[in-house]
């Protein structure tokens, strides 16, 4: 089912208009401690929200747990939520992931909308219908496919983000750029994917993404790049909503990335999701170079961009076995093999690819030594 994606100019009026037309018997708003303080005031004046009931949970991905979602279910139950109620998820990826799963599972599913307040949330978690929580130290281990009925994207929220959180979201935009911002897709390489590319022609490409100036952020340009990126993901999800085929392209950078992220949490030195994805992109483009002759010059350009903007992930060769073990738990795996999304060239993707342990070690070495 297609999500309604609203590019907001004035979120109060757009949200109010939507809620007037939406048939529900009660509205609940899920926020965390940060978004309740800094973001909720942006929508608080909406007339249709004056009787909404607010759920505030602790901030941080470490709270994306069974205990937290249980508290959300408990609140919904105690406050009379029914199958005709609406849940508004106001926050970053943690809120839209957890809130979406809470809505998808409560009374076998209630409607929800997402209002992402971070660049990462807007470009990744809020769009596409993936919901979930972390479990046993593994990212998004428990969840469901459940699209929001609408996603409201208001770029004014992003002006409050620090540089680290802007970069975290930009890593997912870089991934989308590698997947589709190309006019050079080879017909026949991936029968479904070029059709999506043809339907998603955009003005900007890898040059604009890799040349983006984070010392002097142009929010107008960032907003344009963001919506092109959201369009890329939306079209892929429409083609394959439950990740049976080409939606796996969106996992580029995430097999390594989730392992880096999980390791950082186990060490109690968490890195932001987008940083882990940026490091994962370098590793998986290196495998693409080994397996599919991906352009070495572009590999080095991406590696340089990551090094200059994201710094280094602190790990050494003693961590390699643990990282491999974490990758072996990845949800994308089949038949006991670690699965990767790799690139033949920009816009030409190969899903369900494998690599030897030696090659994965080489990718770790490349990331550390570049």
What CATH number did the domain enclosing 186 receive? Answer: 1.20.1090.10
* DSSP 8-state code for residue 337: B
- Sign (positive/negative) of CA torsion 263, 266, 268, 271? positive
Say whether both 79 and 65 belong to one domain. yes
Tokens of 167: 């970069």
**At which of 139, 159, 179 does a domain end?**
159
Say whether both 270 and 122 belong to one domain. no
Q: In the predicted model, is pLDDT for residue 1 greater than 90?
A: no
Say whether both 38 and 151 belong to one domain. yes
Say whether both 298 and 335 belong to one domain. yes
pLDDT for res 204: 53
Say whether both 10 and 125 belong to one domain. yes
Residue length of the chain? 370
**Which residue range forms the structural domain that includes residue 97?**
4-159
Q: In the predicted model, is pLDDT for residue 333 greater than 50?
A: yes
What CATH number did the domain enclosing 31 receive? Answer: 3.40.50.1970
pLDDT digits (tens, 9 = 90+) for 61-77: 899 999 999 999 999 99
Q: In the predicted model, is pLDDT for residue 191 greater than 70?
A: no
Kindly write down the DSSP assignment for every residue of 136-174, as one continuous string: TTEEEEEEEE---SEEEE-GGGGGG--HHHHHHHHHHHH
Q: Given 3-state DSSP classes, what are the helix, strand and coil percentages for the chain, each rounded to the nearest 5? A: 55, 15, 30
Say whether both 58 and 44 belong to one domain. yes
Say whether both 91 and 171 belong to one domain. no
Say whether both 105 and 44 belong to one domain. yes
Tokens of 269: 């030195």
Percent of all residues in the chain with a pLDDT value above 90, rounded to a whole number: 69
Say whether both 138 and 65 belong to one domain. yes
Q: In the predicted model, is pLDDT for residue 185 greater than 80?
A: no
Number of domains in the chain: 2
* Residues in a beta bridge with 365: none
Could you identify the residue written with the tokens 């890195």? 271
Backbone phi, psi, residue 264, to 5°: -65, -35
Tokens of 141: 């281990």
Backbone phi, psi, residue 7, to 5°: -90, 105
pLDDT digits (tens, 9 = 90+) for 3-23: 788 888 889 999 999 999 999
Q: Are 42 and 96 in contact (CB under 8 A)?
A: no
Label the pairing between strands 130-135 and 111-116. Answer: unpaired
Say whether both 191 and 108 belong to one domain. no
**At which of 127, 159, 191 does a domain end?**
159
Say whether both 59 and 183 belong to one domain. no
**At which of 125, 143, 159 does a domain end?**
159
Q: Are 342 and 291 in contact (CB under 8 A)?
A: yes
pLDDT for res 206: 82
Say whether both 150 and 189 belong to one domain. no
């Amino acid at each position: 089912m297609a999500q309604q994606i609203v590019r907001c100019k004035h979120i109060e009026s757009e949200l109010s208009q939507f809620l007037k037309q939406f048939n529900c018997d009660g509205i609940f708003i899920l926020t965390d401690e940060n978004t309740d303080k800094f973001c909720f005031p942006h929508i608080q004046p909406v007339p249709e929200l004056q009787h909404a009931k607010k759920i505030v949970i602790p901030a941080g991905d470490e709270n994306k747990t069974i205990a937290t979602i249980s508290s959300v279910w408990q609140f919904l139950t105690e406050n009379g939520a029914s199958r005709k109620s609406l849940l508004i998820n106001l926050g970053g990826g943690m809120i839209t992931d957890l809130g979406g799963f809470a809505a998808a599972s409560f009374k076998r599913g209630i409607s929800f909308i997402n209002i992402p307040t971070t660049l990462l949330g807007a470009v990744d978690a809020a769009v596409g219908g993936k919901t979930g929580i972390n479990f046993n130290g593994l990212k998004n281990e428990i969840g469901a496919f459940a699209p929001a009925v609408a996603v409201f994207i208001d770029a004014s929220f992003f002006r409050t983000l620090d540089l680290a959180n802007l970069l975290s979201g930009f890593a997912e935009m870089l991934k989308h750029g590698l997947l589709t911002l190309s006019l050079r897709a080879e017909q026949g390489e991936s029968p479904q994917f070029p059709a999506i590319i043809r339907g998603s022609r955009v003005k900007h490409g890898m040059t604009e993404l890799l040349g983006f100036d984070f010392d002097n952020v142009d929010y107008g340009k960032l907003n344009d790049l963001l919506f092109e990126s959201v369009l890329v993901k939306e079209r892929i999800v429409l083609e394959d909503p439950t990740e049976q085929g080409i939606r796996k392209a969106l996992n580029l950078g995430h097999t390594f990335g989730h392992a880096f992220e999980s390791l950082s949490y186990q060490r109690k030195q968490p890195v932001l999701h987008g940083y882990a994805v940026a490091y994962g992109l370098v590793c998986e483009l290196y495998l693409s170079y080994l397996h599919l002759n991906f352009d070495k010059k572009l590999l080095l350009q991406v590696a340089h961009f990551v090094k200059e903007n994201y710094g280094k992930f602190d790990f050494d060769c003693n961590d390699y076995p643990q990282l491999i073990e974490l990758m072996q738990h990845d949800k994308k795996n089949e038949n006991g093999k670690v699965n990767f999304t790799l690139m033949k060239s920009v816009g030409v993707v190969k899903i369900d690819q494998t690599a030897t342990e030696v090659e994965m070690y080489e990718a770790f070495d490349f990331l550390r030594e570049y």
